[in-house]
Each structure stands twice: as structure tokens, then as C-alpha cells.
């Protein structure tokens, strides 16, 4: 799906999950993440193909196109030139992402910095909206909508979820030996001895079976106990 590919590609550049989400929320509002999205009275049925073939005046026809909905003539000229230089269609998804990043790092560095240093999806989303996308509608509702899209992508893809500082931590069970105990390969006296654990030693508890506690290995429950 486009969503995951776009997330992974942008995150590889921004190194910031909130910033990546903020960019994606803006792209969702602009194009629904469709690199072939074209809006405007001069669009054609196969607009990307027509642009590639020179059948339309891509730079000056007033059609908003692609993930970003590029419309201003110099930006569309740059997009088409970059696509041709890489031998790909102007509607190619990864090509558009490459161009987006190049634009933001260049003429729109304020928006790029907001994405790379984001500590809030909403804050970064607002900067990207105003300093990169610059849509006609800049209302509070529009800002909220873009940030909400960004939050959706963050919740879907982010690997590091923020937790409240006072959130309860799950209790971890530990096995503490009450005497010197044999370390065994399984939960039985018939399994091989692998070594010994000293009295008072502790290891994380994993399971209990047949009177034995599993840590990284197995030790007798007769000479050990499980505690929170």
C-alpha cells in the first residue's frame, strides 16, 4: 500500500516519527496519498501520461498534481525536469517523494526542520501546512484536520509510542534461589545438568513446569522461589 511505502521512505529521511506523520497528514489532505491525483479544469483523463509526452502544458496549465498537489509553475517545471532526469513518469510515487524531500531541504527548509525536529504532530503539521503546502484554506479546522490525519498515521505505523510518565509499569516476576541449585536443560531430573546457580541469585521468570522454574534455562523449584 502507498501508506506504508510513504511512511518508510519519509521516516528514513526525517528520522522523526512525529514529523513523518505530520508530512503524511498534509499529503493526505492534499491528494489522499495518490501520486496521480490531478485537480483543475485543464486536467485530462491520463494526465500523468500526457505530461510525460508533452501533450499538456504541464507547468502552466493550472492543474494541481501529485502527492503535494504541485501547482505553481516553477515547482511543476522542477518536478517534470526531475522526473525526466531519472527516466521515470511524473506520476511515479517514489520519484515524487524524492522531489518532495529535495524541495523541503532546499527552498522550504523551515518546514523540513519542523519535520526533522518535531516534538508534536500538530505543531509540525501547522508549519508544513503554512510553509510548504500553503493551501488556500488556512482555517483552524483545516489545521486540525491535517494534524488528525497525521495522528492516524502515527498510531498506525510508529514503533515508539509515548506513554504517560506516571503510567504503571508491568510487574516482572523473578526467580531467586534459596540454595545452590543445578541448572538443567529441561523441566526434569532426567535432563542434562548445565551448571549451577549460587544461593541468592536472581533471574527473570519465564515459566513453571513439573516443579521446575524456567529462566534462561531450568532450575528446581525446591531450591528457588518466584517473586514479583
pLDDT in tens, 153-205: 999 999 754 545 555 555 678 788 888 888 887 788 888 776 777 888 877 78
| Arithmetic mean of pLDDT over the chain | 90
The yes-or-no verdict on residue 84 having pLDDT over 80 is yes
CA 116 to CA 126: how far, in whole Å? 14
Question: pTM of the predicted model, to two decimals?
Answer: 0.70
Q: Which of 60-69, 100-109, 195-204 has the lowest mean pLDDT?
A: 195-204
Higher-confidence position of 86 and 214: 86
The 3-state DSSP composition of the chain as helix, strand, coil percent (nearest 5) reads 45, 15, 40
CB 26 within 8 A of CB 128: yes
Higher-confidence position of 169 and 79: 79
CB 35 within 8 A of CB 91: yes
The yes-or-no verdict on residue 215 having pLDDT over 80 is no
pLDDT tens-digit map of 25-47:
999 999 999 999 999 999 999 99
User: Predicted confidence band at 54 (pLDDT cuts at 50, 70, 90)?
Assistant: very high
CB 102 within 8 A of CB 111: no
Residue 222, CB-side half-sphere exposure with 13 Å CA sphere: 9
**Per-residue pLDDT averaged across 207-211, rounded?**
81
Percent of all residues in the chain with a pLDDT value above 90, rounded to a whole number: 68
Higher-confidence position of 66 and 167: 66
Residue spans of beta strands (DSSP E) within 104-205: 174-177, 181-184, 193-197, 202-204
Give the chain's domains with CATH numbers: 2-157 (1.10.530.10), 174-227 (2.30.30)
Containing H/E element for 118? none
CB burial class (10 A; 0-12, 13-18, 19+) of residue 100?
buried
The pLDDT of residue 202: 79
Q: Supply 96's cell numbers.
A: 515524487
pLDDT tens-digit map of 118-167:
999 999 999 999 999 999 999 999 999 999 999 999 999 997 545 455 55
Residue 193, φ and ψ in degrees, nearest 5? -85, 130
Amino acid at each position: 500500500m502507498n501508506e506504508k511505502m510513504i511512511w518508510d521512505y519519509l521516516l528514513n529521511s526525517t528520522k522523526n516519527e512525529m514529523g513523518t506523520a505530520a508530512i503524511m497528514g498534509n499529503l493526505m489532505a492534499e491528494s489522499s496519498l495518490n501520486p496521480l491525483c490531478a485537480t483543475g479544469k485543464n486536467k485530462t483523463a491520463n494526465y500523468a501520461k500526457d505530461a510525460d509526452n508533452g501533450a499538456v502544458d504541464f507547468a502552466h496549465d493550472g492543474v494541481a498534481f501529485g502527492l503535494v498537489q504541485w501547482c505553481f509553475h516553477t515547482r511543476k517545471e522542477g518536478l517534470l525536469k526531475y522526473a525526466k532526469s531519472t527516466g521515470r513518469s511524473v506520476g511515479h510515487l517514489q520519484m515524487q517523494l524524492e522531489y518532495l524531500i529535495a524541495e523541503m531541504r532546499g527552498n522550504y527548509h523551515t518546514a523540513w526542520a519542523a519535520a526533522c525536529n518535531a516534538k508534536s504532530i500538530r505543531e509540525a503539521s501547522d508549519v508544513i501546512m503554512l510553509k510548504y503546502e500553503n493551501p488556500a484554506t488556512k482555517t483552524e479546522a483545516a489545521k486540525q484536520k491535517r494534524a488528525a490525519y497525521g495522528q492516524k498515521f502515527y498510531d498506525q505505523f510508529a514503533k515508539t509510542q509515548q506513554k504517560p510518565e506516571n503510567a504503571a509499569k508491568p510487574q516482572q516476576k523473578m526467580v531467586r534461589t534459596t540454595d545452590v541449585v543445578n541448572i538443567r536443560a529441561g523441566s526434569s531430573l532426567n535432563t542434562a545438568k548445565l551448571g549451577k546457580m549460587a544461593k541468592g541469585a536472581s533471574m527473570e521468570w519465564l515459566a513453571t513446569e513439573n516443579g521446575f522454574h524456567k529462566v534462561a534455562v531450568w532450575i528446581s523449584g525446591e531450591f528457588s522461589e518466584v517473586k514479583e
